[in-house]
Amino acid sequence: MPRAAYERMRAAHLAVVRSSLEDHIARLDWSREQIERHQNHRLRALLRYAQECSPFHARRLQGLDPARATISDLASLPMMTKRDAQEQWDAIVTTQGLDRARAERIIAEQQWFSYNADDQQIFSSGGSSGVRGVYVWDWQFFVSAACLAWRTQARAERRAAGPAGTPRLAVLEAGIPPHASTPLFDIATAPNMETVVIAAGAPFDEVLDAVAAAQPTHLVGYPSVIGRLARAASAGDLRIRPVRVSTNSEPLLDEDRQAIRDAWDVPIHNTWGSTEIGVQAVGCGGGEGLHLCEDEVILERVDEDGTPVGPDEPAARTLATGLANRTFPFIRYDLGDQVIPLPGACACGSAFARVADIGGRRDDDFRYGDTTVPAIAFRHILGTDPRVSEYQVVQTATGADILVVGDPDAAALTSALVAMLGRYGLPQRGIQVRVVDGLTRHQGSGKLRRFIPR
């Protein structure tokens, strides 16, 4: 699809997003009863459609009556894995004439983002696990994901006076196809807002110059990039005055959150999502944690066998059922993320359930035989050093090779990390710390993978 044709189609798509946003903003005031009634209605519609149109799901849903199904009935279904999604692609997709081979051709041949003849978009992502996946977003699924991503911020903008002059959004995402982040987050959230896309994977000096030139009033993008911009601002190397920050696609680490607060003292709306499901939870900018997007996704915390556990019990997995994507349904899909429910009501008054900020995937933990070293152990040392602006940890047989950007005391870091591994009982503790000018981000998405296991 030529870029001009894509831009015309996208303009039409964004018009639908803007009109649908009104409904989504109104949902933020729903009661628990309204949320649960809507969930069950959407779940039954999804199950019926998947049973009729997807051979893969027809097999999984045998014996389940979609007309009577409730959320609790999902526990009777087997889990859907990443391997299932990619190896059974042609049996999952519900659109006639679209298969994995055609999807791959679209990705390979497109010069920019595009729509196919059925108004669908094809995206690819390496994901946090580093496993490549190919995904199809139909027209309505994009509308849903975009509204979920922006409705909380849009409502906050309406309630606030807003900045003087023309608001400007700097979009620090992948910047290029086939990653979904750029079209999803390059969306104006206030009247007359201008947007500028800045490739997050570019050399940091270029990112810094582009942000300085844009003078954004709003920032959206990867927390590792925005956190580094915040440190540059605190050091006097960047002069911008954003009034709102939205983060996505990577865990928002405590050190990056604090850097943003120290630099600008603005509301932070953290977003948890995936290319498979879309947007799963969004922070309200005031209260603790993230509000689940329960009107468009059902999450189950389960044990290793896929059996749901109670809110106070530890979970081995988080399963997601996306209610909006009919073209490529994900039902009881293993996200790989760890989710911790937050008790009590949020100060913002929302009835949508909350979870703690997603600190990372269980895949981030390093395993040395019978010993497991959680990612947080490395983060506690590397993320709290004021002279470290970015870092990446690569597991080795006896420890880790660590790349850091900044001006730290490498010897002191090494000693602290060796001592840390010793506390976890590792008999051999091989740590190498190297100071580098920059870290290599994923070529397609621009995301930074902080923890790389063997």
201 or 324, greater pLDDT: 324
Domain that holds residue 169: 160-275
CATH code where residue 388 lies: 3.30.300.30
Least confident among 140-154, 279-293, 379-393: 379-393
Q: Are residues 209 and 270 in the same domain?
A: yes
Q: Is the pLDDT of residue 440 over 90?
A: no
Question: Is there a domain that residue 228 lies in?
Answer: yes
22, 138, 140 from 15: Cα distances, Å: 12, 16, 12
Q: Is the pLDDT of residue 145 over 50?
A: yes
Q: Are residues 111 and 23 in the same domain?
A: yes
> Looking at residue 137, what is its pLDDT?
97
Residue percentage of the chain with pLDDT more than 90: 65
Q: Is the pLDDT of residue 248 over 50?
A: yes
Q: 49 is written with which tokens?
A: 């459609």
Question: Is there a domain that residue 349 lies in?
Answer: no
Question: Is there a domain that residue 242 lies in?
Answer: yes
Q: Are residues 227 and 369 in the same domain?
A: no
> Looking at residue 129, what is its pLDDT?
46
> Looking at residue 362, what is its pLDDT?
47
Q: Is the pLDDT of residue 441 over 90?
A: no
Q: Which residues of 143-159 are buried (b: 16+ CB within 10 A; e: fewer)?
A: bbbbbbbbbbbbbbbee
Q: Is the pLDDT of residue 307 over 50?
A: yes
pLDDT digits (tens, 9 = 90+) for 86-95: 899 999 999 9
Q: Are residues 179 and 270 in the same domain?
A: yes
Question: Taking all residues of the chain, what is their mean pLDDT, rounded to a whole number?
Answer: 90
Q: Are residues 308 and 203 in the same domain?
A: no
Structure confidence at residue 359 as a pLDDT band (50, 70, 90): low
Q: Are residues 167 and 184 in the same domain?
A: yes
Question: Is there a domain that residue 289 lies in?
Answer: no
Q: Which residues of 409-441 are buried (b: 16+ CB within 10 A; e: fewer)?
A: eeeebbebbeebbeeeebeebebebebeeebeb
Read off the pTM. 0.82
Domain count along the chain = 3
Q: Are residues 8 and 118 in the same domain?
A: yes
> Of 243, 275, 307, at which residue does a domain stop?
275
Q: Are residues 39 and 57 in the same domain?
A: yes
Cis-peptide, bond into residue 2, ω within 30° of zero: no
> Looking at residue 312, what is its pLDDT?
87
Run of H or E including 285: none
Mean pLDDT calculated for residue range 68-75: 95
Least confident among 165-174, 316-325, 366-375: 366-375
Q: Are residues 148 and 25 in the same domain?
A: yes
CATH code where residue 215 lies: 3.40.50.980
Question: Is there a domain that residue 285 lies in?
Answer: no
